[in-house]
Amino acid sequence: MADYSPEPRLIVFDMDGTLIADRFIFRLAHKFGFEAELKSIMSGSIPEHKKTKSIAALLKGIRVKDIIAVFNQIPLSPGTQLVTSELKKDGHILAIISDSYTLATERLQKKLGFGFTVANRLVVKDGKATGGVEMPLNWTRNRGGCLKHSVCKLNALFSLCDETKIPLVRTVAVGDNVADICLLKQAGLGVAFNPKAPAVEQSADITLNKDLSPLLAIIREQELPKSAP
């Protein structure tokens, strides 16, 4: 008789609007008074990775401790703490793949006990943002990534699969925005959380709204018993 024990999965989450209840850069823009400039950049027609460079330039001269203080004010999305804690107890590997900044994702990684995080890294000197940004493009290993965003989330997923030895079929991706579409389509299970556009929901297998808590039961119900030795 089979002994029930969940096989480990690689579960990757977007950060802004998914694990946390707002977009970090929006909070920074409000705090430091560059909302108009941010809106202009985001609505422009330049490639996404160039937008990332332009947005990072808006942070030039701001102290890192003040940037972090803004991040610390953003609450987690409902259900985040419970779901991530229980998924870890079940033996799954959790990761954050975000087009935000490592100074935020690494703090969230530590807070929630995630195994991995991939994000852009702000260039810092003397405790202040220089306006520069280092982007983990990882385009040379493209296996279907879009070659468009500063963080190619699909290639980041491929790399994490390689590192963890977990096949793509046993991955779960959770996101809310158009930058997550490649992930949602290619992961073993794609979950749109509070999707910001119809295309996001259409790319996912499941849609959740307001609370991440139902994700736990969804993943547990999909697990199969291991074969008996």
pLDDT digits (tens, 9 = 90+) for 46-97: 888 889 999 999 999 999 999 999 999 999 999 999 999 999 999 999 999 9
- Measured from the Cβ of residue 195, the count of other Cβ atoms closer than 10 Å reads 24
Is the pTM higher than 0.85? yes
What kind of fold does domain 10-222 have according to CATH?
A: Rossmann fold (3.40.50)
Q: Give the helix ranges, DSSP H, for 21-99.
A: 24-32, 35-42, 48-57, 64-72, 80-89
Q: Rounded mean pLDDT of 181-190?
A: 94
For residues 142 and 11, give the distance between their C-alpha atoms in angstroms, rounded to a whole number: 21
* Residue 175 Cα distances to 90, 97, 154, 208, 221, angstroms: 21, 10, 12, 10, 20
Q: And the tokens for 165? A: 């030895």
Q: What percent of the chain has pLDDT over 70?
A: 89
> Torsions phi, psi of 190, nearest 5?
-105, 125
* Contact between residue 55 and residue 187 where contact means Cβ atoms under 8 Å apart: no
pLDDT at 187 over 60: yes
* pLDDT above 90: percentage of residues in the chain: 80
End-to-end CA distance of the chain: 10
Q: What separation in angstroms does the CA of 69 have from each of 33, 177, 210? A: 16, 25, 25
Distance set, CA 55 to CA 41, 58, 94, 102, 159 (Å): 7, 5, 28, 15, 26
CA distance 52 to 134: 10
Burial class (CB in 10 A: 0-12, 13-18, 19+), 92: buried
List the one residue out of 177, 77, 64 whose CA is nearest residue 129. Answer: 64
Q: Is 1 exposed, middle or buried (0-12, 13-18, 19+ CB in 10 A)?
A: exposed
In whole angstroms, what is the distance from residue 143 CA to residue 137 CA? Answer: 13
Q: How confident is the model at residue 151 (pLDDT cuts 50, 70, 90)?
A: confident
